[in-house]
A and B are shown apart, each in its own frame.
Chain A
């Protein structure tokens, strides 16, 4: 089995990282996004992920958040990014998922990046072996 997280290899792996708060303005409106957690889960067999999901949440609201799938190769060489069109909204639960996704043979890590108002906040990766 081919996905590993901080806790070791297994049919599925879940990892969580913290993200820091953000303050920004859009026009004349000010936004404050408190710190929270980014959780990334992946499962499958071979190089196929039956499911991959990401959730960003805090105890309040996430505004202008975006979750991107990222793949890295040997030496963390950047291979690809799949961004979601910015939802330009405020939500209490920012989530993204995909299923039956096959990682290319040169992919060593599958990651998710969190951006808030187009500013990078956090990345969580799982090894793909």
Chain B
């Protein structure tokens, strides 16, 4: 079992790994129970941008493989919200969040209808509303975690 602290330490190590390779990174942010960050490579002045991109992608893969590939998966798997009252409540809160963003969403949306309802909400949303809905998706990100054989 991976603890939250072990997971955070792994993501921090992954980010440090990318930084030490010379790339710019952002602070670590949460999306539900998951943590992530951005890493940027600028090829504007590169003589061979395609080669530099290959190097950047290789760095991203190496740092991910070394630090988070196993730990991250173990952590995220432990955070899947099982069917039941807690998940039902989280789904309702997310539907309320989307409604508060300005796009009506059935508060008692079923599990089966959640993604279609979300797609419909995004499809009918203005760009500003879309951003707010995406914030809801991040806030309730654990609703979207799943086992691979789902």
- Is A106 a contact partner of B44 (Cβ separation < 8 A)? yes
- Is A78 a contact partner of B72 (Cβ separation < 8 A)? no
Chain B residues touching A, range: 35 or more
Report B-chain residues with C-beta under 8 Å of the C-beta of A80: 40-44
Interface residues in A, total, Cβ within 8 A:
42
Could you tell me the dominant secondary structure of chain B's interface residues?
helix
- Is B147 a contact partner of A87 (Cβ separation < 8 A)? no
- Is A79 a contact partner of B42 (Cβ separation < 8 A)? yes
Question: Could you tell me which residues of chain B, from 32 to 71, have a CB within 8 Å of some CB in chain A?
Answer: 34-44, 46, 49-50, 52-53, 56-57, 60-61, 64-65, 68-71
Report B-chain residues with C-beta under 8 Å of the C-beta of A90: 73, 76-77, 145-148, 150
- Is B69 a contact partner of A26 (Cβ separation < 8 A)? yes
- Is B144 a contact partner of A92 (Cβ separation < 8 A)? yes
Q: A104 on the interface (CB 8 Å rule)?
A: yes
Report A-chain residues with C-beta under 8 Å of the C-beta of B121: none
Q: B87 on the interface (CB 8 Å rule)?
A: no
- Is A93 a contact partner of B115 (Cβ separation < 8 A)? yes
Q: A102 on the interface (CB 8 Å rule)?
A: no
| Proximity bits, B130-146, A CB within 8 Å = 1, else 0 | 11001001100100111
B81 CB to closest chain A CB (Å) equals 12
Residue of B nearest to A66 (CB): B60
- Is B146 a contact partner of A61 (Cβ separation < 8 A)? yes
* CA–CA, A34 and B56, complex, Å: 27
Q: Which of B41, B148, B150 has the most CB of A within 10 A?
A: B148
- Is A92 a contact partner of B115 (Cβ separation < 8 A)? yes
Q: A63 on the interface (CB 8 Å rule)?
A: yes
- Is A85 a contact partner of B148 (Cβ separation < 8 A)? no
Please provide the 8 A-B residue pairs with the shortest distance between their CB atoms, ordered closest to farther.
A88-B72, A89-B76, A78-B49, A43-B127, A118-B61, A86-B64, A97-B134, A82-B40
A88-B72, A90-B147, A91-B146 given; 20 more Cβ-contact pairs under 8 Å = A12-B127, A29-B148, A53-B131, A78-B46, A80-B43, A81-B40, A81-B41, A81-B57, A84-B37, A84-B39, A85-B64, A87-B76, A88-B71, A89-B77, A89-B145, A91-B141, A93-B115, A104-B44, A118-B64, A118-B65
